[in-house]
A and B are shown apart, each in its own frame.
Chain A
Amino acid sequence: MTQKLIIIGNGMAPGRMLEHLFEQAPGQYEVTIFNAEPRVNYDRIMLSPVLSGEKTYEQIVIHGDGWYIENGITLYKGHKIVAIDRARKTVTSDHGVTESYDKLVIATGSVPFIIPVPGKDLPGVITYRDIDDVQAMLLAAQSREKAIVIGGGLLGLEAAAGLNSRGMDVTVLHVMPTLMDRQLDPAAGYLLQRAFEDRGIKVITKANTRQIVGTSKVEGIELDDGTIIPASLVVMAVGIRPNAAIAKDAGLAVNRGIVVDSGMQTSDGDILALGECAEVDGMVYGLVAPLYDMARIAASHLAGDRTPVFVHSDTPTKLKVTGINLFSLGDFAEGDDREEIVLRDATAGVYKRLVLKDNRIIGTVLYGETADGAWFNDLKKKATDISEMRETLIFGQAYQGGSPLDPTAAVAALPDDAEICGCNGVCKGKITGTITSKGLTSLDEVRAHTKASASCGSCTGLVEQLMTITLGAAYNPKAVQPMCGCTELGHDDVRRLIKAKGLKTIPAVMQELEWKTSCGCAKCRPALNYYLVCDWPDEYADDYQSRFINERVHANIQKDGTYSVVPRMWGGVTNAGELRAIADVVDKFEIPLVKVTGGQRIDLLGIEKDDLPAVWADLGKAGFISGQAYAKGLRTVKTCVGSDWCRFGTQDSTGLGIRIEKFMWGSWTPAKLKLAVSGCPRNCAEATCKDIGVICVDSGFEIHFAGAAGLDIKGTDVLGLVKTEDEALQYIVALTQMYREQGRYLERIYKWAKRIGLDEIRRQIMGDADKRQAYYERFVFSQKFAQVDPWSERVSGKDKHEFRPMATVGYPEAAE
């Protein structure tokens, strides 16, 4: 019979518990979750990568809304449980919802410890616990001002590194003499401090906070010695404590955390507790590995199998700051009965220390070089007698038994039960076994099936080595990445074969190159369509159904399904007549938002799809054509006012920009292409972060390319200097054509340039007049077919079906 299971809390531990439970006892429970946070279950280990910008929130969601629906879970988001009635077996939320349970699981996690100093409640003082804290930090970081992180432990340092990478001026205050004193010995703590200082983060140790100063918001911190450090943001990351209040109120046994037995059961037989709020055998836990262990055990007990029990084991600690490798495990305090082996390599920034007792490893600190962490962990776990290999132990596993320096030898020699992924408790045998039994060949598949390297990712290298060992030559991480799941061929091979075999339609490509699917997928079809458009401009008929919606309807789809429209504004120059026409269109179609873009033109947002042709018709009457703001093609040519107006201008940058745009509009490229022309090196058009840019100087035109100011930020490289406007245009066009012919679909010009090499590009465009001329001519030829305004075509009736519903049903009056 189905029983009712209620879970208070929706963090990683209960999420994992449910995964086990549904696998072990499907249908046994009807599950209801109360989550005080208004969202689904996400990976808290990955908050630091979100803060530093290496991941997005969407990428760290563990269970999307669909998972809850699929498993029939009722999830109350933003409901905090305020009372547990053990006699009636009910819980009640702060929104007044009461639900009854047969079994209750408390997984309320922990609360950050707030040091009780004056000013702790000022706006601008935050903790580091959940995604809301990260959002608050990201908002604060936009100011580029000063931040203080109180706490030089794991979380505090990750917060400091994240804020630093977001451009804030960061100071870390730590009360102890060295950083991460609970996980590192002073020597490693010192190396860590130096690594942080090298990044421009100030570290003050032995720092006691007297008060947080500020009147209406944080202005700084005063230390015990009277020093005042100014800051507009203070992050408190001094520790956590179990959140056991609700259990205490309900009369359950509570110490530091909610007291549970080795089967996660509280003092009430129908209530379990797990995660950071639980206390087992006098210990509370904050790292994910033991919490996942608890999840497995709680699931098993809920499913009726009471055999597995929780056993304490030391969990290695790793810091998730890109570029800093450290590993810490077990006990490394000094003592009379202990010995140590230390290796230091100051130049390489490596420090390793093993603490031994009775010829067995009891503690390990590795800094700078952590590859042997898993091996030391294994030796410690098994209490292996190391006297035989004592002389070479510190050099790592590769040096044992005279084995060669094969990078995979160390991993190959690990026993099957050696833990590879600490976060998810996955051992070597499980990984190699699953690779073999399921025929896995990619890292993503191994992650999906075993969860190894699927949390913090620090064991990815080990997992890849295991794949190499298990699959041999079949696994080559550096092998050509196929275009998509439909083919084994990479982009470059496909492009080459299209030319070599003279393939001129998508079905021909798929047939000749032995595509594995009947009609491709959303990854390969747009790519193939581009390659064919580029290579056979006169012969290939564009495959409209293989274009992404924006290129199909020549507008930009928005999150609500409406579209935005950007007319071309040559070189960013407009006039009263054009602006009046835009204003009239805005009024007529009640367009909700008019926005000036970064590319010097005007974006009309929130237009219904059905209205697009009429909007274009009106814009077209005023002389506008599509700005192709949606295209993997030429977008804008941004300009400054140049020598016509500016007292510093050296050339007519506006005129050149307009000339380039009129020459190149309509061309398709592997990814979007944005240009700019600045009239002098003051560079008001920001040409040095564009795909292609021109800096005008007295002696001519300096052509730049391969800049980026999006996901990556990169200044341009110089292609070369030319003397005349005509030359500038010719060189830019030739460069664009070279990129068009060689770029992989969706590969921006800076990535292409990195792959091909700047020298090679300079050689072909600057140094080889014949090549340059040939590229130029091929571009000019292809423009004959490309320069057709898509808006006026559609105003004249092309693709009519795209802009109206097929039918309207159920509206008795409106249906005519």
Chain B
Amino acid sequence: MGVDMNWIAIGDISDIPLRGARCVKTQQGKIAVFRTAENEVFAIEDHCPHKGGPLSQGIVHGTAVTCPLHNWVISLETGKALGADNGEVRTIPVRNDNGALSIALESLMMAAE
């Protein structure tokens, strides 16, 4: 990820409920943007490594989300499955400027190859 990263504005932190998530639709697929109880923001692919479940629809707890389809628990920080499961989703860089959120699209492009 270079310095000339292409940041795309996606909205304000208040658009996302606390302990909740919203989707951002991109050409490379959906991205789930999470807001934890502690007001941290994370973005990961909206696609569980297990069976592709929409992680944005899961229950958010701590810095993890539980997939709504089969209860895999995914770390929002690393994108890795926690506990006994093995798997990983891509994390997306997200910037929070006093509540104005943007994600790094360039890494998306790279990742889409």
Decide whether A and B are members of one complex.
Answer: yes
Q: Flag if A810 contacts B86 (CB, 8 Å).
A: no
Q: How far is the CB of B91 from chain A (nearest CB, A)?
A: 16
Q: How far is the CB of A92 from chain B (nearest CB, A)?
A: 29
Verify if B15 is at the interface (C-beta below 8 Å from A): yes
Q: Name the prevailing secondary structure of the A interface residues.
A: mixed
> 1/0 contact trace for A514-537 toward B, CB 8 Å?
000111111001100000000000
Verify if A807 is at the interface (C-beta below 8 Å from B): yes
Known contacts A519-B62, A549-B57, A810 near B85 by CB under 8 Å? no
Verify if A438 is at the interface (C-beta below 8 Å from B): no
Q: How far is the CB of B30 from chain A (nearest CB, A)?
A: 8
- Among A522, A544, A807, A811, point to the contact of B66 (Cβ < 8 A): A522
Q: How far is the CB of A532 from chain B (nearest CB, A)?
A: 16
How far is B52's CA from A66's CA once the two chains are assembled, in angstroms?
A: 12
Verify if B69 is at the interface (C-beta below 8 Å from A): yes
- Among B9, B19, B27, point to the contact of A810 (Cβ < 8 A): B27
Q: How far is the CB of B28 from chain A (nearest CB, A)?
A: 7
> 1/0 contact trace for B49-70 toward A, CB 8 Å?
1111110011111100010111
Verify if B33 is at the interface (C-beta below 8 Å from A): yes
Q: Flag if A807 contacts B86 (CB, 8 Å).
A: no
Residues on A with C-beta less than 8 A from B73 are: 521-522
Residues on A with C-beta less than 8 A from B10 are: 806-807, 809
How far is B103's CA from A593's CA once the two chains are assembled, in angstroms?
A: 37
Verify if B99 is at the interface (C-beta below 8 Å from A): no
Verify if A41 is at the interface (C-beta below 8 Å from B): no
How far is B51's CA from A811's CA once the two chains are assembled, in angstroms?
A: 26
B-facing residues in A623-657 (Cβ within 8 Å): none
How far is B15's CA from A584's CA once the two chains are assembled, in angstroms?
A: 34
How far is B57's CA from A805's CA once the two chains are assembled, in angstroms?
A: 12
Q: Flag if B69 contacts A559 (CB, 8 Å).
A: yes
Q: Which of A522, A525, A559 has the most CB of B within 10 A?
A: A522
A-facing residues in B1-43 (Cβ within 8 Å): 8-11, 15-20, 22-28, 30, 33, 36-38
CB-based nearest B residue for A517: B62
Residues on A with C-beta less than 8 A from B26 are: 808-810
Q: Flag if A805 contacts B61 (CB, 8 Å).
A: no
Residues on B with C-beta less than 8 A from A526 are: 59
Known contacts A545-B59, A809-B105, A561 near B54 by CB under 8 Å? yes
Q: Flag if B57 contacts A557 (CB, 8 Å).
A: yes
Residues on A with C-beta less than 8 A from B36 are: 519
Residues on B with C-beta less than 8 A from A69 are: 86-88
Residues on B with C-beta less than 8 A from A559 are: 51, 53, 69
Q: How far is the CB of A55 from chain B (nearest CB, A)?
A: 15
Q: Which of B27, B81, B86 has the most CB of A within 10 A?
A: B86
Q: Flag if A809 contacts B8 (CB, 8 Å).
A: yes
Residues on B with C-beta less than 8 A from A810 are: 8, 26-28, 105, 108
How far is B66's CA from A545's CA once the two chains are assembled, in angstroms?
A: 12
Q: Flag if A557 contacts B68 (CB, 8 Å).
A: yes
How far is B57's CA from A518's CA once the two chains are assembled, in angstroms?
A: 21
Residues on B with C-beta less than 8 A from A522 are: 58-59, 61, 66, 71, 73
Verify if A113 is at the interface (C-beta below 8 Å from B): no
- Number of interface residues, chain A, beta carbon within 8 A: 37
Residues on A with C-beta less than 8 A from B54 are: 557, 561
> 1/0 contact trace for A46-65 toward B, CB 8 Å?
00000000000010000111
CB-based nearest B residue for A63: B86
CB-based nearest A residue for B109: A810
> 1/0 contact trace for A300-326 toward B, CB 8 Å?
000000000000000000000000000
- Number of interface residues, chain B, beta carbon within 8 A: 49
Q: Which of B25, B70, B105 has the most CB of A within 10 A?
A: B25
- Among A64, A525, A548, A805, point to the contact of B23 (Cβ < 8 A): A805
Q: Flag if B59 contacts A546 (CB, 8 Å).
A: yes
Residues on B with C-beta less than 8 A from A547 are: 59
Known contacts A519-B62, A545-B19, A806 near B69 by CB under 8 Å? no
Q: Give the A-B pair count, Cβ closer than 8 A.
A: 118
Residues on B with C-beta less than 8 A from A595 are: none
- Among B17, B49, B81, point to the contact of A801 (Cβ < 8 A): B17
Residues on B with C-beta less than 8 A from A552 are: 57
Q: Flag if B59 contacts A548 (CB, 8 Å).
A: yes
Q: Flag if B17 contacts A545 (CB, 8 Å).
A: yes
- Among A64, A544, A550, point to the contact of B85 (Cβ < 8 A): A64
Verify if A395 is at the interface (C-beta below 8 Å from B): no
Q: Which of B17, B53, B61 has the most CB of A within 10 A?
A: B61
Q: How far is the CB of A476 from chain B (nearest CB, A)?
A: 24
Residues on A with C-beta less than 8 A from B84 are: 448
Q: How far is the CB of B83 from chain A (nearest CB, A)?
A: 10
Q: Which of A66, A544, A550, A809 has the most CB of B within 10 A?
A: A809
Q: Which of A69, A545, A546 has the most CB of B within 10 A?
A: A545
How far is B23's CA from A553's CA once the two chains are assembled, in angstroms?
A: 15
Q: Flag if B88 contacts A519 (CB, 8 Å).
A: no
Verify if A406 is at the interface (C-beta below 8 Å from B): no
How far is B65's CA from A548's CA once the two chains are assembled, in angstroms?
A: 12
How far is B9's CA from A526's CA once the two chains are assembled, in angstroms?
A: 33
Residues on B with C-beta less than 8 A from A806 are: 10-11, 15-16, 22-24, 33
Residues on A with C-beta less than 8 A from B60 are: 545
Residues on B with C-beta less than 8 A from A557 are: 54, 57, 68-69
Residues on B with C-beta less than 8 A from A561 are: 52-54, 57
- Among B11, B25, B59, B86, point to the contact of A811 (Cβ < 8 A): B25
Known contacts A64-B86, A70-B88, A521 near B66 by CB under 8 Å? yes
Q: Flag if B62 contacts A518 (CB, 8 Å).
A: yes
Q: Flag if A70 contacts B24 (CB, 8 Å).
A: no
How far is B25's CA from A806's CA once the two chains are assembled, in angstroms?
A: 8
Verify if A663 is at the interface (C-beta below 8 Å from B): no
> 1/0 contact trace for A490-531 toward B, CB 8 Å?
000000000000000000000000000111111001100000
B-facing residues in A757-816 (Cβ within 8 Å): 801, 805-811
How far is B60's CA from A545's CA once the two chains are assembled, in angstroms?
A: 8
Q: How far is the CB of A265 from chain B (nearest CB, A)?
A: 31
How far is B68's CA from A547's CA once the two chains are assembled, in angstroms?
A: 11
How far is B38's CA from A559's CA once the two chains are assembled, in angstroms?
A: 31
Q: Flag if B37 contacts A519 (CB, 8 Å).
A: yes
Verify if A67 is at the interface (C-beta below 8 Å from B): yes
How far is B19's CA from A454's CA once the two chains are assembled, in angstroms?
A: 35
B interface list, Cβ under 8 A from A: 8-11, 15-20, 22-28, 30, 33, 36-38, 49-54, 57-62, 66, 68-71, 73, 81, 84-88, 103, 105, 108
| CB-defined A-B contacts under 8 Å, sample of 26 | A65-B49, A65-B87, A66-B85, A69-B87, A69-B88, A517-B62, A519-B36, A521-B59, A521-B61, A521-B66, A521-B73, A522-B66, A525-B61, A545-B18, A545-B20, A552-B57, A557-B57, A557-B69, A559-B53, A801-B15, A805-B23, A807-B9, A809-B10, A810-B26, A810-B27, A811-B27
A-B contacts besides A66-B87, A522-B59, A549-B58, 16 pairs, CB < 8 Å: A64-B85, A65-B87, A69-B86, A69-B87, A517-B62, A518-B62, A519-B19, A519-B36, A519-B37, A521-B61, A522-B71, A548-B68, A557-B57, A559-B51, A806-B23, A809-B26
